[in-house]
Chain A
Amino acid sequence: MPGATDMSEYSPVILQGQQTNDDEILASTPLDAKALGGESSEIIMELLQRFKVRDVMKRQVISIPRSATMRDAQRILRDNRISGLPVCENGRLYGLVSVNDIIRGLDGGWMDEPCENHMAKNLVVLEAGMPLAFALRYFNNYTYGRFPVLDSDRKLVGIVSQRDVMRALLYELSVEIRKLEMKTSSKAAKVEQEAKGNFFRREWAVVHNDLSRAGHAANAIKGILRERKIDRAIVRRVAVAAYELEINICIHSHGGVIVLLISDNSVKITAKDRGPGIPDIEWACRDGTSTANDWIRSMGFGAGMGLSNSKRVSDKFEIQSEVGKFTIVQCTFELPKPDGAAEGGAQ
């Protein structure tokens, strides 16, 4: 990003409270990837969605006002052994002075001028409510080592580094893996649920807020229906419903599953989640009603069309929800009898 401050230079601000040694956590983590198989990556994905930036960021940030001189900034950087200093007043972040800015100030002879004239102003920031998965994408997309964190009122509330993210993940992983070890056998039995009799059933897990993976179930469902030479118009309607419901679980729930059930005379898509539930189902099913936040909208979703779109394409649409517990949506699509089936497969 042009003009963005190189946050990789921004060494840790005051670390107050306990300081954890990453190596100790690593050593104490019973991480046995072999024993866990594919579940380990699912746990990590779940953690990356469940935990927010605010859960791992450092809240103690040293800052200076805009009127402070570059020399003041230099002294604070030196005394605190840090290499970047947010310029902040009443919680509002105006910019950042880095060691590079100080070097330029020494060269240019403007060390006694206010820092607001020479600080970097175009900063890349994170929001406190963003999931860790989103923060990791920022670390991948930009080469910065850490980002300032703003709350919903755009006030500076912390700073987060890759190290903070890793530390939190390692700790939580150790907790989750212990839990998992206790129920590995029962979980393994649930992973594959195949066809019984004339029914075909398959289930996909959907992780909260992981838009990069959302759509996998719907894409797979489309492939399965195409293989079975189901009428292309029906395949498309099923795929649209599955996709919308999958996105809904992803952006609105704590996580859940998409279930495909094919019988001789119908295809059913069931979306089950673990809450938070819908207080007003009628309102939620109306076009254009949504509780999505801005970053979900920036991904092309959250316009409040999900449930109404699913309902529109279904032959039968059922929804149940209990606030704080679950939401279950079931879309049924009738299949024509074999002698009345349309020719040709789906596209």
Chain B
Amino acid sequence: MTIADVTKILDGKLIAGDATSPRAVGAVVANDLMSDVLLHDEDDILLLTSLASDQAIRTAHIVGAMGVVIHNAKPLSETMIKVANDLAIPLVSSPLAKYDACVKLHEAFLAEERG
């Protein structure tokens, strides 16, 4: 599941980063507390958060995340978008609530597993 797939599944819009990135989601972390996010060791994390700030992007970069989704269509500042572009972190805005976004991603993973 690439960032393009994530964008489609979550009815979102890619705001920054490369839409054609081939990196696949390795794990989904839904959290607004950045120190919690830093505890995760998985590769290619997709970070779902309502923290619409530069720090969400910086944290994603530190853990080597493959993308960030800001849910509830929270407004994104220009600096946040700039940081995402600078650090090459794909940034998606989704109108879904965090829970609904998690459910949709989970369903998509199950469908992917079934082939």
Contact = CB atoms under 8 A, between A and B. Distances in A.
A and B physically associate: yes
Interface of A: 211-212, 214-215, 218-219, 222, 232, 236, 239-240, 243-244, 247, 299-301, 303, 305-306, 309, 312, 346-347
Contact of B55 (A236, A300, A303, A346): A300
B55 A347 contact: no
20 contacts: A215-B59, A215-B62, A219-B58, A219-B61, A219-B87, A232-B64, A236-B62, A239-B62, A240-B62, A243-B38, A244-B35, A247-B34, A300-B32, A300-B34, A300-B49, A301-B35, A303-B36, A305-B38, A305-B39, A309-B38
Nearest to A290: B35
B36 A305 contact: yes
B82 to A, nearest CB: 11
Contact count band on B: 20 to 34
Nearest to A288: B35
Interface in B57-101: 58-59, 61-64, 79, 87
Given A236-B64, A300-B34, A309-B39, 6 more contacts: A212-B54, A215-B54, A301-B55, A305-B35, A305-B39, A347-B64
Contacts of A301: 33-35, 55
What are the 9 closest A-B residue pairs judged by CB atoms, nearest first?
A: A215-B58, A305-B35, A300-B34, A300-B51, A239-B62, A347-B64, A243-B62, A240-B38, A303-B35
A218 B58 contact: yes
Nearest to B80: A212
B56 interface: yes
A222 B35 contact: no
Contacts of A347: 43, 64
Contacts of B54: 211-212, 215
A300 B80 CA distance: 14
Contacts of B36: 303, 305
A4 to B, nearest CB: 15
A113 to B, nearest CB: 36
Nearest to A240: B38
A312 to B, nearest CB: 8
Interface of B: 32-36, 38-39, 41, 43, 49, 51, 53-56, 58-59, 61-64, 79, 87
Contact of A306 (B35, B55, B56): B35
A239 B87 CA distance: 14
A302 to B, nearest CB: 9
Interface of A is mostly: helix
A212 B80 CA distance: 9
- Which of B43, B51, B64: most chain A CB closer than 10 A? B64
A128 B34 CA distance: 26
A299 B32 CA distance: 9
A300 B38 contact: no
Nearest to A312: B39
A303 B34 CA distance: 9
Nearest to B31: A300
Contacts of A218: 58, 62
A34 B24 CA distance: 48
Nearest to B51: A300
A346 B55 CA distance: 21
Contacts of A222: 61-62
A303 B64 contact: no
- Which of B56, B58, B63, B79: most chain A CB closer than 10 A? B58
Nearest to A215: B58
- Which of A214, A239, A243: most chain B CB closer than 10 A? A243
A218 B54 CA distance: 13
A306 B61 CA distance: 17
Nearest to B79: A212
A309 B59 CA distance: 13
- Which of B41, B55, B79: most chain A CB closer than 10 A? B55
B99 to A, nearest CB: 19
Contacts of A299: 51, 53, 55
Contacts of A346: 64
Contact of A244 (B38, B41, B49): B38
